[in-house]
Structure 1
Amino acid sequence: MSDAEVRRRPRQERSKSRVETILDVALEMIIESGAEDLAMREVARRADVPIGSVYQYFPSKTAIIRELAKRNLERVSQMMQDELAALLAETGGRPTPRQAVDRLIDAYYSYYRDHPAATAVWAGAQAAPTLRELDVADTRRTAEFLTPTMMMTLPLHDAGEAFALALLFAEVAGSAARLALAVAPPLREQIVAKLKLMLVATMEAHRPGGAAA
């Protein structure tokens, strides 16, 4: 086990409650001053638990950040899958590129806009080389559930080509949405609008008979 992994999972309710308190306190500290200033002893002090109890579950601050990042990515992934399922239901399973881009980008951007803690945790995970694989793995998972929709929407018959396009979509959308959150309006809204235009144009270019054919 690396020091970026949770040392053990709590089984009793009291232990689960203690772990949640540790994570809540750590999240508050990350929001206040960034992940780089997270200190295990200060986490223990604010959580009102012995320092040994913190290390019992989290061998390092990287392990705490990893757990917070993992939970956030799982929430975002579920939210995006729910949005996609709703869109498919509304459009009979064949949304236009514009409908798909508008729905998914708005959902993703709104989530991070309304949950600044999620942005802070993501930034902390990106700063740790041992945690970057979490984001890479999440991007691949996002591309996997987007691929069937890409194939139906454009339509494409090559699953490999659709996956590559979905992977690019997921990576670019995530990076651009976070960039938008780092700047002030009206530049923020301009970035999101141009991101949508770029993604729609890319999808349209991959339609059979389109510019990429």
Structure 2
Amino acid sequence: MSQTPPPSKKTKKTKEIAANATIPRAPQRVQGRLRFELLVDTTDRLIGERGAGDLSLYDIAEAAGVPAASVYHFFPSMAAAVVAVAQRYLQIFEEIIASDLDHAELVNWRDIFRIIGERARQFYNGHEVVRRLFLGSEYSWQVRMADIQGNESYARILARTYERHFHIADPDFLCPKIEIAIGLSDSVWSLSCLRHNIITDDYAVEAERAYHSYLTRYIAELAPKRTAPMVSLPSERAAVGNA
């Protein structure tokens, strides 16, 4: 049986260049950071007005009132500009997921996603560009890769949140399971946006059911609630001890 020859160094280099072209170059200096944020703001606005598919880096430069070379310096391609906008929103979602919960309001571990999921849904429904990028027509493979990385981070945060408020299994074991559950709920939300342009109440209920139906296989239905939320989690102490 013939074997496929390994990729040449030239092929590997070409793929590396293509991958790097989709990565925005975030600056470190204050002045560069201000210019970068201006360009992200402009790209965000133009996606809302015209959609990403009809945009070019020259459009961004013209709308922002900066030289085209400045845009190319931060965004090697239009895909990189869109990813920069997506990364900004992914950071906001991380802040939503990591936001504090009232321990007294939690009766069952399911209440955690009920509350956090609703916060995320309200943000989605209030921002059309976010719905386009992550749940709709602008969901490119570059944004998908950023989204997958974001979900991995969200899963770690949620696992620690479950551990903080309830007696659950090893949170490190739960992380990939939660990531899958997030993907299931996102799929339902995406279907709602494609049909109704928002995440409706009915689809929100179905997304929550999908999320919890999967996680119930890994978290006990009646996992006992802690008397008070843990300040220092066992998993965090173990991580420090192993450092």
What range describes the TM-score normalised by the shorter chain of this pair?
A: 0.7 to 0.9
Pairwise mapping of residues 37-186 of structure 1 onto structure 2 (< 5 A)?
37-82=54-99, 85-87=100-102, 89-91=103-105, 95-122=107-134, 123=136, 126-127=139-140, 129-151=141-163, 155-184=167-196
* Aligned residue type for 1:126: Y
Which string of whole-angstrom CA distances, capped at 9 and with x for unpartnered residues, describes residues 140-165 of structure 1? 11111111344566743344542233
Residue 90 of structure 1 deviates from its aligned partner by: 3.4
Q: Under a length normalisation based on structure 1, what TM-score does the superposition of the two structures give? A: 0.79
Q: In 1, Cα distance between the equivalents of 2:58 and 2:101?
A: 45
Q: In 2, Cα distance between the equivalents of 1:46 and 1:75?
A: 25
Deviates more, 1:101-110 or 1:143-152: 143-152
Residue 194 of structure 1 deviates from its aligned partner by: 2.0
* Aligned residue type for 1:140: E
User: Which residue does 1:193 correspond to in 2?
Assistant: 205
Q: In 1, Cα distance between the equivalents of 2:204 and 2:158?
A: 20
Structure 2, unaligned runs of 5 or more: 1-16, 223-243
C-alpha spacing 1:35/1:124, structure 2 compared with 1 (3 Å)? farther
User: Which residue does 1:3 correspond to in 2?
Assistant: 21
Q: How many residues align?
A: 203
Identity between Structure 1 and Structure 2 (%): 18
* Aligned residue type for 2:23: E
Residue 137 of structure 1 deviates from its aligned partner by: 0.9
Q: Is 2:51–2:138's contact at 8 Å kept on the other side of the alignment? A: no
2:101 alignment partner, SS class: helix
Residue 96 of structure 1 deviates from its aligned partner by: 0.7
Structure 1, unaligned runs of 5 or more: none
* Aligned residue type for 1:119: R
Q: Is 2:182–2:211's contact at 8 Å kept on the other side of the alignment? A: no
Q: In 1, Cα distance between the equivalents of 2:77 and 2:219?
A: 48
C-alpha spacing 1:80/1:160, structure 2 compared with 1 (3 Å)? closer
* Aligned residue type for 1:38: L
Q: Is 1:154–1:206's contact at 8 Å kept on the other side of the alignment? A: no
Larger CA Rg, structure 1 vs 2: 2
- Answer 1 or 2: which has greater helix percent: 1
1:146 alignment partner, SS class: helix
Deviates more, 1:131-140 or 1:193-202: 193-202
Is 2:43 the counterpart of 1:26?
yes
* Aligned residue type for 1:9: P
Residue 3 of structure 1 deviates from its aligned partner by: 0.9
* Aligned residue type for 1:195: A
Q: Under a length normalisation based on structure 2, what TM-score does the superposition of the two structures give? A: 0.71
C-alpha spacing 1:50/1:106, structure 2 compared with 1 (3 Å)? same
User: Which residue does 2:237 correspond to in 1?
Assistant: none
Q: Is 1:35–1:124's contact at 8 Å kept on the other side of the alignment? A: no
Q: In 1, Cα distance between the equivalents of 2:63 and 2:211?
A: 44
Q: In 1, Cα distance between the equivalents of 2:161 and 2:34?
A: 40
